[in-house]
Structure 1
Amino acid sequence: MVHVFGIRHHGPGSARTVRLALDELGPDIVLVEGPPDAQSVLPLLVHPAMKPPVALLVYASDAPSQAVFYPFAIFSPEWQALTYALERGIPARFMDLPLAHQLGDTAQETPSAPDEAVHDPLAALAAAAGYRDRELWWEQQIEQRADPRGVFEAILEAMRALRAGLPPHAGESAHAVREARREAHMRRTIRAAQREGFARIAVVCGAWHAPALEDPAGGDGEGRAARDEHDERAARDRRDEALLKKLPRTKTEATWVPWTSARLAYRSGYGAGIASPGWYAHLWRSGDRPGRASITWMAQIAGLLREADLDAPPASVIEAVRLAETLAALRELPIPGLAELSDAALSVLCQGAPAPMELIRTKLEVGEDLGEVPEESPAVPLQRDLAAAQRRLRLKPAAEPKPLELDLRGEHDRERSHLLHRLVLLDIPWGTPQQVSASKTGTFHEHWSLAWRPELTVALVEASIYGNTLESAATAKVSEQAEGASLPRLTASLDATILSDLPEATDRVLACVQERAALSADVLALMTAFPPLARATRYGSVRQTRSEHLVTIVDGLFERIAVGLVPACASLDDAAAVDMRGAIAHMDESVALLHHLGSAWTELLHDVLGREPIHGLVRGSACRILVERGSVDRNELERLARLALSPVAVPAQAAAWIEGLLRGSALLLLQHDGLWGALDAWLGGLRDEVFVEMLPLVRRGFSAFGPIERRRMGERVRQLRNPAPRAEATCDTDRDAARAALVHPVLSQILGVDLP
């Protein structure tokens, strides 16, 4: 006889009721909605090292990105049903439509979660009972139910009514066809068990499917003649076989992977998710003492708040529990649920503040548990290599983001850094680099944030096509991508290979860099490629990597840049000038790392600065860099300003020169009287219509300055009209107060300040 138990995929009440029903039934075989592709790894479920939450991962052998996760928690009814059978030596089987058919059928939607239905039966039942929240309805009617008797019969009856009320054409969609095939295969599995002679067959499936499986051999043939029943049975069998005939098939692999509590939640995007996995886990641990759940839950909240240095005395815990019980009584509930406990915690322990409640939501209601799977679980060699490295380097995966600071002067931390960088190269971002000021930590440190996500397992499987170890896989991937890559991408890749300590990949990328650099006439591309090479040359010794052979390549690349920079800066439009200004700035930062190129770079900037055909923005930026390097003194800066802002200069180019010069600290402008004078003369000499045209360009030059810098500039403008005597400086010319008064309102408008 077939006994169908319709359940929700995750729920402690359903899980406890399933265990009780199985104990009462004593089945000969247990059939569970799940992927038959994973039948071979099912016995690992009761392995001592298995610690939920975990998930079955089924993926296409030749396309690992086509993968489906089947998550399980300790409170999942399927987990409890399978555990019941395996611990007692009772046959346990998955009965859903194999993923080998579903993944192979490209015309249909790939399932992202078991029983992800278009229709939401729980929401429909909740609405019929007068509930707006389906979670609240399920918790009160199922999870908090004191007497579980008759639950499955009631669920079956409710689902019959819901399925009977579907629109006439609801079964014609692609989703409906897939669901029909799934149910057909489940019935086929049940019939196979009957033919094998199993007398008591327990079927655990999503509640929506229960009516379709309750009598797979017959139908609703009560009271009919035996022949009619036989005909009905045969017709249904034929329909099932027709649905399952000639389905596409692809080869699949299956294994167990760690899962997280957060990934069981709705907000993770999991189709069959629940709102509060942590709360459900707490209810399961409370066992058959639901009354104690309120006390222990509030105690956990208090402990969490104390860890965050928030006040949570025992007296407040007692008061919060009493308030939750009072709220439950007012709402005509037998015991407090999560809503009552949350309201009480917010009022008493959090004193109405929302921030602590968000902490409670993340840490407790959702939870941060990360499951564990046995080492015997099937894994590609690349997974095993990563696991071995994690054990050797004492980097245990965790779901909660954790900071990691590495001192690259130590061998142990250098190896950790190599591991994390290799994973980044393989698109497995277990660690994310964090930007921290070098002045605080020095160049010998790296900062990472580590957080393991279940999807990274799929990425590992995908990356295994490149090799069986992280080193060989990363080397192969980098070498493959180097073919045909642009010069900037090559040097960025070179930077990554050095960070990852991949000598073979480094040599291959270096060869490609030399080849591309020798053939490239694009100076901007050469300049974009230069910074990663400079960093690799400068910091290679920190990581104990070979950097001597990089010097020759860097010097050669610099020579090509030196020859082509001035011609490349000629005849630039505004957009190209912006790109060139950025490239020159990055080049300057890089040359600062390589002391032997400093003088040559300074001479090159002087060449750029002195060429009139070069765009004003580029000349102004070069002038700014040279001033900061100390290669242009005060007198020379004033001379250059008078030339750039002379009456014969094109106004747009003069405004661009100002923008390039002023980009950075305002101290340069504040400390040079001659520069202010040149700017004053230029603005005062503009015709009205030209001034209106140039105003946006000039304002852009001042746009990056802060309020304090603008205020000091305003004071400086005031001094143009009423110059105060300065002991440390002499003025070789008399100021024209009348002319300064004319410029005063103009500069006020440019700077955006009100001057008296």
Structure 2
Amino acid sequence: MSLSIFGVRHHGPGCARSLRVALESLERDIVLVEGPPDAQDILPLLTSQGMRPPIAMLIYEPDAPHHAVYYPFTHFSPEWQALHYALARGIPARFMDLPQAIQLAQVKETEETPQIEEKTDEDPLDLLAKAAGYPDYELWWERQIEQRLDVTNLFEGILEAMSELRADPKAKNEHEAQREAHMRQSIRAAQKEGFQRIAIVCGAWHAPVLTQLDDEKNDAAILRGLKRVKIEATWIPWTNSRLSYRSGYGAGVTSPGWYEHLWHTPDLTSIRWVTHAAHLLRAEGLDASSASVIEAVRLAEALAAMREFPMPGLVDLHEAIQTVLCHGNAEPMYLIRDKLEIGEKLGEVPMETPAVPLQRDLENRQRKLRFKPSASIETYDFDLRKETDRGRSQLLHQLRLLNIEWGKPQRTSQKHSTFHELWTVQWQVEFAIKLIEANIWGNTVESATAAFVRHQADTLESLPELTELLDKTILAELPGAIDHLLNSIQRRAAVSADVRHLMDALPPLARVARYGNVRETRAESILTIIDALFERIVVGLPGACASLDDDAAKEMVESINHAQESIALLNRDDQREAWRGVLRFLLERNGVHGLVRGRCCRLLLEQKVIDDEELQRLAGLALSPVNPLPQAAAWLEGLLRGSGLMLLHQDGLWVALDRWLSELPSEVFIELLPLLRRAFSDFEPSERRAMGEKVGGGSFHRANLATAKSGTKACDIDEERANSVLPVLAHILGVKYDGN
């Protein structure tokens, strides 16, 4: 009876290649691999024709799918090669790690009773790396193991090195002891079944202790009484970028694209890597000549020789490519990092893989719509008049309602009509868990989304949240859920006493009413709700604006803006006139916060309800000495916030502001500076520059002259005193003052 122990690095191409050679030469009669025995039933799917790495084994609790663990595999994973070798030859292949039914139970206990983690010492592998002159073990392992040319006695050397590290008498982690005890028990079970030539593939760290098979009673005692939970196992597609994820195997690689390159091109590694980089740069419109490729390879080889390495590694190639192909620029290296060092591969799993019904329905719709998931970011411009594009849009909107953000809608340019939608789409491997979680709502994407929306309609209390949900539901085209939502909105609106909530609820309804015909939505019922909300807003807004403090006034202004946007979008004369009447009432009413009155003035001015002469009158009243200074500053902020063009073009407002500022005592002026600064903060640089020029270039005096001609008496100007104000005024405007 013989044991062959192969200590490997998970996702290590050099280990995978050496392991495959060793297995073929030794001809073992069973292969035991570090991995969860819970997944034994799905192991045969590994050799299915539809299985294309990278993929991952997903193990989860059916009752709590977020309690899950992933075991990634790809072509250059030693475990993948070992399992493929055994399954292809009919040799028994088994997982031997501690079952995830136990490990997930322990995770749940830890969540319920948090443990204080002990401070970990330096990674033992770093000791080997530093002894060999490397800054960290990642670089040491890559140079000494993964890029090794002579692999003779490689695994014997790994076992010897790990044995020295494991000789440290420090106590082992309890969880690690349980895992290794179960691995040894699995080896003993294979021996008892009569297997004579046993191959054991495990992480290099565990290799030394798996030969210690004498103390079976102690291992049994370690494993006795461990709790379990119910689990399910399946295969899911994985991506290169997620191979760095530390989950089931607890290890990852930072450059999976580089490791895949090492696996597929053991010869001429450097020249082919630099050539791939050059092709990538050319595809992006950057210059990368053949001569530059040769020069970069020579530089990489020279760097490796200077560092006493037999061949260039990723660091050497990275530096050479940046120096020669990128001319020292770092920006193109981000492209090479994303596209080449990591890569954008998305794996595939066969149809016979276990999956929840919701996952199957999604796959069927993806095939029907010719909408294949991809790990790369892709942009789509959907024409909703086309059946396929509309179906894709419908699917993406439904998934977003289930919190599965496969696609994200983008703002479209004005050249697009309401029949167009612009999306960026990228598949994330975590969606597999979200689909399992969402399966409780239904067995198809449409039914699950509709049920989830109805549930939210019954539980959400906020009217704005309900109307926002209605907007999303209409885009997802769920008629039954829409009717349910409309009923919920009507009930909430009937009892809502918060005018702000009523105004905040308008924008989604207005969008639906204006553009709902694109998706053949029944707009009549929505218009009925809008009319009811609008009537209550008109009646309740004046009372809601009384006696507001500064914070409440800011919130009220935001809600007034929402209502203004909605009324402009609906474009109905009756609503527009009623709304203008409310704004006019608030503008003239005493006791309304200055910020609200200033904003109402701005909205009426933009709609040409107020002319220049009336604006000058209102500014004079708002900035008169009888008003409290903070309220005057707030009125100014409400009027000017967002754009300074009004102040530039309304000379009457300019004069009123100048007079108000000039009459402020110096200590009060300094106190109000932060408020004034905030009022001017949103102005464009060009607007602030124009104001500075208006102050210093003489147009200020022309403004006074124009005011005088219009019938308003302008005060005599003391040039010396006026000039003393200019530095402070320039500071308010955020422009440079040079004293001229």
Shorter-chain TM-score range: over 0.9
**Residues 119 and 70 of structure 1: CA distance in aligned 2, closer, same or farther (over 3 Å):** farther
Larger CA deviation: 512-521 vs 481-490: 481-490
1:59–1:67 contact (8 Å) kept in structure 2: yes
d(CA) in 2 for partners of 1:524 and 1:740? Answer: 48
Structure 1 residue 350 displacement after superposition? 2.1
| In structure 1, C-alpha distance between the alignment counterparts of 2:96 and 2:267, rounded to whole Å | 37
Distance 2:538 2:444 in 1: 42
Two-structure CA RMSD over aligned residues (Å): 2.4
Aligned residues: 722
Where do residues 687-706 of structure 1 align in structure 2 (5 Å cutoff)?
Answer: 687-706=665-684
Question: Could you tell me how far apart the structure 2 residues matched to 1:464 and 1:95 are?
Answer: 31
Moved more, 740-749 or 508-517: 740-749
User: Is residue 195 of structure 1 aligned with residue 192 of structure 2?
Assistant: yes
Residue 432 of structure 2 corresponds to 457
Question: Structure 2 counterpart of 1:323, which letter?
Answer: L
Range with bigger deviation, 596-605 or 699-708: 699-708
- Which residue in 1 is equivalent to 2:556? 580
TM-superposed CA distance for 1:394, in Å, is: 2.1
Quick one: which amino acid aligns to residue 159 of structure 1?
M
Q: Distance in 2 between matches of 1:585 and 1:739?
A: 41
Secondary structure of 1:184's counterpart equals helix
Shift of 1:319: 2.5
> Which residue does the alignment assign to 1:623?
601
The CA distance in 1 between the partners of 2:628 and 2:161, in whole Å, is: 82
Q: Which residue of 2 aligns with 1:481?
A: 456
270 and 612 in structure 1: CA distance in 2 versus 1, 3 angstrom threshold: farther
Residue of 630, 646, 661 corresponding to 1:668: 646
Cα–Cα, structure 1 residues 109 and 608, in superposed 2: closer, same or farther, change >3 Å? closer
Stretch moving more, 204-213 or 333-342: 333-342
Deviation of 1:9 (Å): 0.8
Once the two structures are TM-superposed, the CA of residue 58 in structure 1 deviates from its matched residue by 0.5
**1: distance between equivalents of 2:720 and 2:387?**
67
Q: Distance in 2 between matches of 1:474 and 1:70?
A: 30
Aligned to 2:132: 129
1:183 alignment counterpart: 180
Greater shift, 711-720 or 587-596, is seen at: 711-720
Deviates more, 1:324-333 or 1:725-734: 725-734
Of the candidates 328, 334, 358, which is equivalent to residue 310 of structure 2?
A: 334
Q: Which residue number corresponds to residue 240 of structure 1? A: 219
Report the Cα distance in structure 2 between the residues aligned to 1:476 and 1:312, rounded to whole angstroms: 55
Partner of 1:257: 236
SS in 2 for 1:737: coil
Deviates more, 1:492-501 or 1:685-694: 685-694
Structure 2, unpaired ranges of 5+: 113-119
Between stretches 622-631 and 189-198, larger displacement belongs to: 189-198
Taking structure 1 as reference, are residues 314 and 683 closer, same or farther at Cα in structure 2, changes over 3 Å only?
Answer: closer
Q: For 1:574 and 1:293, how far apart are their aligned partners in 2?
A: 66
Go from structure 1 to structure 2 and tell me whether the alpha carbon gap of 1:242 and 1:137 turns closer, same or farther (over 3 Å shift). same
- Tell me which amino acid in the other structure corresponds to 1:677: V
The 10-residue stretch of structure 1 (378-387 or 476-485) with the greater mean CA deviation from structure 2 = 476-485
Conserved 8 A contact 1:368-1:400 = yes
Structure 2 length as normaliser, TM-score? 0.93
CA distance in 2, matches of 1:725, 1:577: 33
Relative distance call for 1:313 and 1:324 in structure 2 (3 A) is same
Do the aligned partners of residues 595 and 210 (structure 1) sit closer, same or farther apart at CA in structure 2, a change above 3 Å counting?
same
> Within 2, Cα distance between the matches of 1:484 and 1:378?
33
CA contact under 8 A between 1:721 and 1:737: conserved in structure 2?
no
Aligned partners of 1:612 and 1:285: how far apart in 2?
Answer: 79
Contact kept in structure 1, 2:704 and 2:714, CA below 8 Å: no
Which letter does structure 1 place at the counterpart of 2:71?
Y
1:608 to 573, 586, 607: 586
**441, 448, 451: which is aligned to 1:466?**
441
Cα 1:561/1:16, change in 2 over 3 Å? same
Decide whether aligned partners of structure 1 residues 647 and 162 sit closer, same or farther in structure 2, where only a CA change above 3 A counts: same
Kept in 1, the 8 Å contact 2:694–2:700? The answer is no
Q: Distance in 1 between matches of 2:419 and 2:230?
A: 48
**Residue type of the alignment partner of 2:277:** I
Structure 1: runs of 5+ lacking an equivalent: 111-116, 219-235
Give the Cα–Cα distance (whole angstroms) in 2 for the partners of residues 38 and 414 of structure 1.
Answer: 39
1:228 aligns to what? none
Which residues in structure 2 correspond to 1:92-491 (within 5 Å)?
Answer: 92-105=93-106, 106-108=108-110, 120-167=123-170, 170-171=171-172, 176-216=173-213, 218=214, 236-265=215-244, 271-286=250-265, 290-436=266-412, 438-485=413-460, 486-491=462-467
Instruction: Give the deviation of 1:516 after TM superposition.
Output: 1.0
Match of 2:512 in 1: 536
Q: Is the 8 A contact 1:100 1:251 kept in 2?
A: yes
Within 1, Cα distance between the matches of 2:336 and 2:700?
A: 62
1:87 is the counterpart of 2:88: yes
The reply on whether 1:23 has 2:24 as its aligned counterpart is yes
The percent identity for this pair of structures is 58
- 1:640 aligned onto 2:618: yes
Instruction: State the alpha-carbon separation in 2 of the partners of residues 519 and 739 from structure 1.
Output: 61
Distance in 2 separating the partners of 1:392 and 1:415: 9
Q: Tell me the distance in 2 between the aligned counterparts of 1:20 and 1:648.
A: 93
Inter-partner Cα distance in structure 2 for 1:581 and 1:410: 41
Is the 8 Å Cα contact of residues 595 and 638 (structure 2) preserved in structure 1? yes
Q: What's 1:52 paired with? A: 53
The residue type paired with residue 423 of structure 1 is: L
SS at match of 1:377: coil
1:664 to 1:354, Cα distance in 2 relative to 1, 3 A: closer
Distance in structure 2 (CA, Å) of the matches to 1:679 and 1:353: 51
Q: CA–CA distance in 1 between the matches of 2:241 and 2:248?
A: 10
Aligned AA (1:35):
P
